[in-house]
Amino acid sequence: MWKIAKLGDICKIQSGNSIPVKEKELLYRNVNEGLPYVATKDVGFNGVIDYENGVRIPSNYSSKFKLSKKNSILVCAEGGSAGRKIAFSNRDCHFVNKLFSINPGNKITSKYIYYYTLGNEFQSQFKKSMHGLIGGVSLLKIKNFQITHPPLPEQQRIVDKLDAAFAEIDKTININKDKKHQIQSLRSSIFNNKINQKGKKIKIKDVCINITDGSHFSPKTVSSGYPYITVRDINNDKIDFSKCRFVNKNNFNELIKNGCSPKKNDLLFSKDGTVGKVTIIKDDTKFVVLSSLAILTCNQNLIIPEYFFYVLKSPLFLSEAIGKKTGVAIKRIVLKNLKNIEISLPDLEEQKKIIHQLNEITGSIAVNLNLIAKQQGLYEVLKNSLLSNYLKSEAA
C-alpha cells in the first residue's frame, strides 16, 4: 500500500554552514585531516560530487558545522542551479548553507529518496515553492513537500530497476561525451594546422585599421532602446539579442562618439573574464558594447574578416591570448597586449581557400555535435520517463 507523507516527517532535512573567505583560507584550505566541505560548485549537474576540492573541516572545528551523513541526498537550495543540482552522497561531509541535506529515516530507502528528488513530484513542488530575487526554496517549505512512497521491499525493487536502467543510459551518455571530446580535439588540431602553418608572421595591430573596446562605464540600462551587448550575449559565435539589455538614445549617441559601436564586418573578441568568444558583425544593426569586448576592424586589403575570425578562434591564438591575461579579481587582456599578438598571414587567395575548407569542416563538425546533443537530450527524456513510470504511475 502506497502512503503519502511530508518529506520532513520521514527524513532529516537541514541546510549547511557558510564560511567567511578569510577563515576558509586560513583554517580549512589544503588541510589533510577532517571531513570534506562541499559547496554548490562541487555538485555537478550530472549528480557527481567533488569531495577533493581542497577544503576540509578538521575534527577540532567539526562541532561548528552541520554533518551530512553518508547516503544522504544533497540538493541545491537557491540560485540558478536550485533544484537542478542534486546528488547522492556516498560519504560523510560538511556542506554549505545553500545546500539541503536530506537523510532518510528507517521508513524510506535512501536511494528511493534520491530518485524521488529527480522525479516530477519533487521537481513540481520545488518550482512552485521558489521565491525571492535569487530564487530559492526555504527549509520550512521543503520539509512540507509531499512524498508518495510504497513499502520498503517495493522501494528497493524500484531502486534496483532504476539503478540498472540509469547505469546503461549513463554508459551511453559517457560514450557520446567521449565522441564529443574527440570531435572537439580534431577541430582544434585542424584549426591549428590550417591557420598557423602558412604565411608571414605579423602583429594584429598591423592587419587592423582600428582596435578598440566598448564602454568603460556602465550606462543605466532601460527596458527598451538600443541594444547594449556584453560577453554573455555572445554564444555559438553569434550575438543573441533576445536577452540583452538596452540603453536610451542619449547614452547610445554618447557611446557612439567614443567608438563603442561596431559596424558590419567588424569582429568582436571577448577579452575580460570569459576570454575567447568571437563573432563577426553580419549586418547594419545598431548597438553598443561593454569594454569586455574588443572591436577589431580589418584592413581588408590584408586580411579577410572570415579568415580573421578563424584566426581568433584557433586554439594556438587563444593560448597566446590567455597567457597575456592580467588582473587578480577579473582576468582580462589589455588592448596593448592584444594588439601585439603575432599571427600567420598568407596572401588573400590562400586565405579564401582556407576559409572555404574550414567552412566545410566546421559545418560537418557542427552537424555531428548537434546530433550528439540531440541524442543526449533524448537520453535525459528517457530517464524522466522511467522516473515517472516507477515513481508516479505505480502509486496510482
Q: Name the 3-class secondary structure at 44.
A: coil
- The residues, any chain, with a CB within 8 Å of residue 104's CB and separated by 6 or more, are 10, 11, 71, 72, 110, 112, 113
The pLDDT value given to residue 359: 92
Portion of the chain with pLDDT greater than 70, in percent: 96
Global model pTM greater than 0.85 = no
At 112-149, the pLDDT tens digits run 999 999 999 999 999 999 988 778 999 999 999 999 99
Does residue 396 register a pLDDT over 50? no
Whether residue 75 has pLDDT greater than 90:
yes
Nearest of 322, 318, 304 to residue 358 by alpha carbon: 304
pLDDT band for 106, please (50, 70, 90 cuts): confident
Q: Which of 396, 360, 391, 352 is nearest to 116 (CA)?
A: 391
The three cell numbers of residue 214 are: 566598448
Task: Pull the grid cell for residue 73.
Answer: 541526498
- Number of neighbours of residue 39 by Cβ within 10 angstroms: 18
Helix and strand totals (H; E) in the chain: 11, 21
Instruction: Give the containing element (helix H, strand E) for 236.
Output: none
Q: What does the pLDDT look like over 279-300, one tens digit per residue? A: 999 998 899 998 889 999 999 9
Q: What is the pLDDT of residue 259?
A: 83
Report the candidate in 332, 326, 325, 311 with the shortest Cα–Cα distance to residue 202: 311
HSE of 260 in the Cβ direction (CA atoms, 13 Å)?
A: 26
Residue for grid cell 561593454: 290
Is the pLDDT reported for residue 303 higher than 90?
A: yes
Of 111-115, 203-207, 259-263, 351-355, least confident by mean pLDDT is 259-263
Question: Which residue ranges form the domains of the chain, and what is each CATH number?
Answer: 3-149 (3.90.220.20), 199-345 (3.90.220.20)
DSSP-based three-state secondary structure for 118: helix
Phi and psi torsions of 306, nearest 5°: -65, -35
Identity (one letter) of the amino acid at 164? Answer: A
Residue-level pLDDT at 99: 97
CB 35 within 8 A of CB 130: no
CA distance 326 to 307: 27
Return the C-alpha cell found at 354.
582556407
Residue 223: is its pLDDT beyond 70?
yes
CA–CA separation, 154 and 37 (whole Å):
34
pLDDT at res. 326? 61
pLDDT of residue 394: 45
Could you give the dihedral angle defined by the CA atoms of residues 145, 148, 152 and 153, in that order, rounded to the nearest 10 degrees? -150
Q: pLDDT tens, 150-201?
A: 999 999 999 999 999 999 999 999 999 999 989 988 888 888 888 876 778 8
CA distance 62 to 60: 6
Instruction: Reply yes or no on whether the pLDDT at 331 is more than 70.
Output: no
Asked if 119 and 387 touch (Cβ cutoff 8 Å), the reply is yes
Rounded mean pLDDT, 21-26: 93
